[in-house]
Amino acid sequence: MTVTVAIIGRPNVGKSTLFNRLVGKRLALVDDRPGVTRDRREGEGRLGGLRFRVLDTAGLEDAEEGSLAARMTAMSEAAIDEADVALFMIDARTGLTPEDEHFARLLRRKGKPVIVLANKAEGREGEAGVLEAWSLGLGDPIAFSAAHGVGLDDLHDRLLEAVPEEKWRERDEEDDGEKPLRLAIVGRPNAGKSTLVNRLVGRDRLLTGPEAGITRDAIAVDWEWRGRPVKLWDTAGMRKKAKVKEKLEKLSVADGLRAAKFAEVVVLLLDATEPLKKQDLAIADLIAREGRALVIAVNKWDLVKDGAEYRRELERAVDRLLPQIVGAPVVMLSAKTGRNVDRLMPEVLGVYEVWNRRIPTAKLNQWLREVTERHPPPAPGGRRIKLRYITQPNARPPTFVVFSPRADELPDDYRRYLVKSLRESFDLWGVPIRLKVKSGENPYAEGKGGKRR
């Protein structure tokens, strides 16, 4: 197994800034206010020649039992238990606080190797804090600056000392095996996304609770479903743009949108206790425009009385209002009780196969002849528009190019007819279809750039 490094400390000491520096990307949200990070975030860290799994955690707080802060702290403690080494960060400019000392005692009880990072130590203001950090009894502190990269060399050497050499030599085999399916769960706030992720992976991996908007970052979870590796993203709830005013919420929504764009399949989670809203449709439309495969999951299904009628109305509404993803699979489930959750991943894998589907050129051109004979293209000015040839240059999503000498004259309604027929003829349900019409003859005919096919 890869070495696991957990970044621990009270709120607002710079943990997420260090996480972003170690993974080489701005994955974690960073803001001046404390408590931005609530869930545990994971990434592939690199420092010199070292590669490791790095965990960014919520700030440790001595909080009342049952509160959101206490649940956040419990998640951070679980990260310590999982780690090979903990990076305990303090704010050198503020100096030690009672909370720092409280959690230093916690780390000593855990018995894990600890490296103390006195962050924000640049300049004279931080010198006193570095000296104070000696009193924690956790070894020599490193004068550090996550923002400016000061102390990274010392951190590299201390990591080598803290973890046995043979463990650093072990490497994950993932790059040589099957690539993980990238799956994102999106939806409006409080639809139950984190609860669903926890139910799928079989443990309380993500922070949940009755409070809306608990999830702020897009949190990636490595998981395996029946031997198939999956990279699963939980995202922050997406509200209407006009209602998103705070900078932090804007960052959270942007993070969720980025996760959806990088995913291959997106599960749009709806709340069965609320009617289908414009925001749900807007999220689905965004997924389609980004070319992702879509599965619609309806949570809290155990609270619905007339389930059959609800499902019929939902499917009719989706097909009518989202023609670009007609036939998207719909799964009714309850993340809380586990009802029908086992039906979700088969639908995800099914729509993923459609999203990757390639259709032989010969079959496509036979289809083109049949559909144009059945419903010929229009004839503006008395001259029939001819569609000469079709090919599929890309999958993910299925993308087709039709060649015509008068491409710019083909009306939108006829393009929609072609897309509808493609979907029906080749079972391309639940995925966006891209159809482009280009001027020209068959590009593969003799004398046109290649051999006739």
pLDDT of residue 441: 59
Q: Is the pTM of this model over 0.75?
A: no
pLDDT of residue 442: 56
The pLDDT-based confidence of 176 (bands split at 50, 70, 90) is very low
Residue-wise pLDDT for 90-103, tens only, equals: 999 888 888 888 88
Instruction: Output 99 or 401, whichever has higher pLDDT.
Output: 401
Half-sphere exposure of 403 (CA within 13 A, CB side): 15
Give the integer Cα–Cα distance in Å for 433 and 429.
Answer: 9
Residue-wise pLDDT for 96-139, tens only, equals: 888 888 888 888 888 889 999 999 888 777 788 888 888 888 88
In contact, 359 and 426? CB cutoff 8 Å: yes
Token pair listed for 311: 């499902």
β partners of residue 87? 7, 115
pLDDT of residue 207: 41
pLDDT of residue 72: 57
Crossing angle for the helix pair 98-110 and 68-82, nearest 10 degrees?
Answer: 40
Q: For the domain bounded by 361-439, which CATH number is listed?
A: 3.30.300.20
Residue 231 has pLDDT above 70, yes or no: yes
**330-332 and 181-187: which strand pairing?**
unpaired
> One fold for both 4-169 and 174-355?
yes
Tell me: domain 174-355, CATH 3.40.50.300, correct? yes
C-alpha pair distances (Å), 184 with each of 108, 181, 187: 37, 10, 10
Give the integer Cα–Cα distance in Å for 392 and 343.
Answer: 31
Angle, alpha carbons 393-422-451 (nearest 5°): 40
Average pLDDT over residues 213-227: 69
Token pair listed for 277: 């809203």
In contact, 255 and 236? CB cutoff 8 Å: yes
The pLDDT-based confidence of 381 (bands split at 50, 70, 90) is confident
Residue-wise pLDDT for 330-350, tens only, equals: 999 999 999 999 999 999 999
Phi/psi of residue 85, nearest 5 degrees? -150, 145
pLDDT of residue 252: 44
Residue-wise pLDDT for 353-371, tens only, equals: 999 999 999 999 999 999 9
β partners of residue 157? none
Q: What is the residue extent of each domain of the chain?
A: 4-169, 174-355, 361-439
Residue-wise pLDDT for 5-20, tens only, equals: 999 888 888 888 899 8
Residue 450 has pLDDT above 80, yes or no: no
Q: Which CATH class is domain 4-169?
A: alpha beta
Q: For residue 162, give the amino acid letter.
A: A
